[in-house]
Amino acid sequence: MTEAERYESLRHCKWVDEVIPDAPWVIDQEFLDKHQIDYVAHDSLPYADASGAANDVYEFVKAAGKFKETKRTEGISTSDIIMRIVKDYNQYVMRNLDRGYSRKELNVSYVKEKRLRVNMRLKKLQEKVKEQQEKVGEKIQTVAMHRDEWVENADRWVAGFLEMFEEGCHKMGTAIRDRIQERLKGQLSRDSGFLLQIEGDEEEEYYYDDDEYDDDDDDEEYYEDYDNYDEIDKKNEKERK
């Protein structure tokens, strides 16, 4: 800021009634009377003049009882502000270049301007890469969370399926066993009936009346016709001839 800009910024402060330009570093009684100054406010530290002759430029005002000590705000000082400006100088230059200021207005060389622009682009690229990495990390965490949930549900589903499958197999095995037993019982009942019938047949006895057969044999009589035998022999001899 220029000196005129600093004056103007002070005029816009609500606690300031009047701004005196070109005020001296070392004040005297004549200056106080001219501007009708009742008190001089400053911190209590001693400040030497430019020549170094005086130990404290406010010694006269302190002796007259017109000095008011001000307290410093913790964490705020002009030295810290200057250090922050110097530290972030490159960022300050790039911000103003982006706003439309030329390098000449900012008192920056051509090479420095190009180097700052390249560095700023690299910084933006790093920020984008970091942002993408964070998004990927969030997605990985989401996938991992859903994976744990899916694994838990899958274990529960598999356990339920195995339980139902085991129960179904048990029921099916019981039904098959019952049907086999029923068929075996039916087969056994049929086989037992057939065996009983065979045994009953084997137990039947046949009785023959020998006297009846003897009587028939006794009654039968056989008669042989010898003349007939002679005719048959003759006939066979003719056939041989």
Mean pLDDT to the nearest integer, 222-230:
50
pLDDT of amino acid 228: 53
Q: Would you say 85 and 63 are in contact if contact means Cβ atoms under 8 Å apart?
A: no
Determine the average pLDDT of the residues in 43-53. 75
pTM beyond 0.75: the answer is no
Give CA–CA dist 97/64, Å, rounded: 52
User: What pLDDT digit, counting tens, does each position of 160-202 carry?
Assistant: 777 787 777 877 878 888 888 888 877 777 766 655 555 555 5
Q: How many CA atoms lie within 13 A of 182 on its CB side?
A: 6
Kindly give, in sequence order, each residue whose CB lies less than 8 Å from that of residue 20, ignoring residues fewer than 6 positions away.
Answer: 35
Residue 239: which H helix or E strand, with range? Answer: helix 226-240
